[in-house]
């Protein structure tokens, strides 16, 4: 029986994870559920799944959660320290890290240090502090399995227990991208797009922040950086291919000319079920792929001139150090401003570009350095957004 702490339980990844858990009560148990401040949704999940621990990150919401869960037998805790305890405590052996953005970094590191099986959906944590996360996993003796559909697909296409890409005979990793809702549009056509349009993804049901990242292709840029850390792959070995159907989730090309791909319907439960049960496979509730119905699979190169965020992510990866932390911080601030209608859509890439030029990269030697770079970049990004 795997005992799960689900951080970000009320989000889309949390919902998909709990759907898989509900299908296999003999294999998986949700022992801790954590959310930011959505008391009603968290309480409903706790009453259904009966975890030992319910954590609300915003302390101001603690009283309301306690009231909702009175008499349920579920222990309630609140605040950032409680989230860390949910990630590292003895009540779980597996942690689903699905808190959106930089807010999920410290709990992800805590789970890694505690030797948990870490199912990583929070790509920002590895983008900000990939080397620190690798060290925490090594020190804690835990293991990491990616929940992003693309990295989960790559994991499935690599040999078991691969030592490194060269030893496995890998030539390239090919990350597929849907292209988002604005694929094919020109820069001029993007000037007036709204948050509602940016969040209307053609294939996936996701939260607002990641939906905007998909629309700018920054989501794919973050995934390039994530692939670099997960698979020890140089930037030159990671290529992005736009695949509008979202059926091929990623590919691995080998030196003998073979290309292995993982295909499936665009449903996160496939990747989640694979990571939960690995090295076994379990039913995920996902419909079988009907290739005759799909009929065709298209591929094209990304438009880096129009969607500059992807190019900026490559630049930050090659710069190294805290440049990827600066990239992520500037993107989070810019996306938030766009969603609040304080910044036009093209201003997201402009903010990130200017921030990367304004904030010097430093060696990411420890968490304090990373957090200081994050704070500095956010302040600079806010200044740039105000000027735009």
Which residues are documented as binding site for 1-deoxy-D-xylulose 5-phosphate?
123, 149-150, 178, 201, 214, 219-220, 223
> Token pair of 373, please?
């770079």
Beta-carbon count within 10 A of 321 CB:
18
The whole-angstrom separation of Cα 72 and Cα 51 is 10
- What is the rounded distance in angstroms from the CA atom of residue 217 to the CA atom of residue 196? 17
**Helical pair 218-231 and 123-140, crossing angle rounded to 10 deg:** 10
List phi, psi (to 5°) of 167. -65, -30
Residues of each annotated binding site for NADPH: 10-13, 37-38, 122, 124, 207
Binding site, annotated residues: 10-13, 37-38, 122-124, 148-150, 178, 201, 207, 214, 219-220, 223
Residue 222's contacts (CB-CB under 8 Å, 6 or more residues apart) are 123, 124, 127, 213, 313, 328, 331
Rounded CA-CA distance 254/43 in Å is 48
Residue positions in the annotated binding site for Mn(2+)?
148, 150, 223
Going along 215-362, which residue ranges are E strands? 238-242, 248-254, 259-263
Residue 168 and residue 157: Cα distance in Å, rounded?
11
User: Do 80 and 236 form a contact (C-beta atoms < 8 A)?
Assistant: no
Helix H segments across 114-261?
A: 123-140, 149-157, 187-190, 195-198, 208-216, 218-231
d(CA 274, CA 260): 17
Angstrom distance (rounded) from CA 354 to CA 20: 42
Q: How far is the C-alpha of 126 from the C-alpha of 129, rounded, in Å?
A: 5
């Amino acid at each position: 029986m795997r005992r799960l702490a689900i951080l970000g339980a009320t989000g889309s990844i949390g919902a998909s994870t709990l759907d898989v858990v509900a299908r296999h009560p003999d294999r998986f148990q949700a022992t801790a559920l954590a959310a930011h401040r959505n008391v009603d949704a968290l309480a409903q999940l706790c009453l259904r799944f009966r975890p030992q621990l319910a954590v609300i990150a915003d302390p101001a919401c603690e009283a309301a959660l306690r009231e909702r869960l009175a008499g349920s037998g579920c222990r309630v805790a609140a605040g950032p320290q409680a989230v860390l305890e949910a990630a590292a405590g003895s009540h779980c052996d597996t942690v689903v890290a699905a808190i959106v953005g930089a807010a999920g970094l410290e709990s992800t590191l805590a789970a890694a240090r505690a030797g948990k099986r870490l199912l990583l959906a929070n790509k920002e944590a590895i983008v900000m502090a990939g080397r620190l996360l690798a060290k925490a996993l090594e020190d804690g003796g835990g293991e990491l399995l990616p929940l992003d559909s693309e990295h989960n697909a790559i994991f499935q296409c690599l040999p078991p227990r691969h030592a490194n890409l060269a030893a496995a005979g890998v030539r390239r990793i090919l990350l597929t991208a849907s292209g988002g809702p604005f694929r094919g549009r020109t820069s001029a056509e993007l000037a007036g797009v709204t948050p509602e349009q940016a969040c209307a993804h053609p294939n996936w049901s996701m939260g607002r922040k990641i939906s905007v990242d998909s629309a700018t292709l920054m989501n794919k840029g973050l995934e390039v950086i994530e692939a670099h850390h997960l698979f020890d792959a140089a930037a030159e070995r990671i290529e992005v291919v736009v695949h509008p159907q979202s059926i091929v989730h990623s590919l691995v090309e080998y030196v003998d000319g073979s290309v292995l791909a993982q295909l499936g319907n665009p449903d996160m439960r496939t990747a989640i079920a694979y990571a939960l049960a690995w090295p076994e496979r379990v039913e995920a509730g996902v419909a079988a792929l009907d290739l005759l119905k799909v009929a065709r699979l298209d591929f094209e190169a990304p438009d880096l001139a129009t969607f500059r965020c992807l190019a900026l992510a490559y630049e930050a990866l090659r710069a190294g150090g805290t440049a990827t932390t600066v990239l992520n911080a500037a993107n989070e601030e810019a996306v938030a401003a766009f969603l609040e209608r304080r910044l036009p859509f093209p201003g997201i890439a402009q903010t990130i570009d200017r921030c990367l030029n304004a904030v010097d990269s430093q060696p990411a030697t420890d968490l304090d350095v990373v957090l200081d770079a994050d704070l500095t970049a956010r302040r600079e990004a806010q200044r740039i957004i105000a000027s735009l």
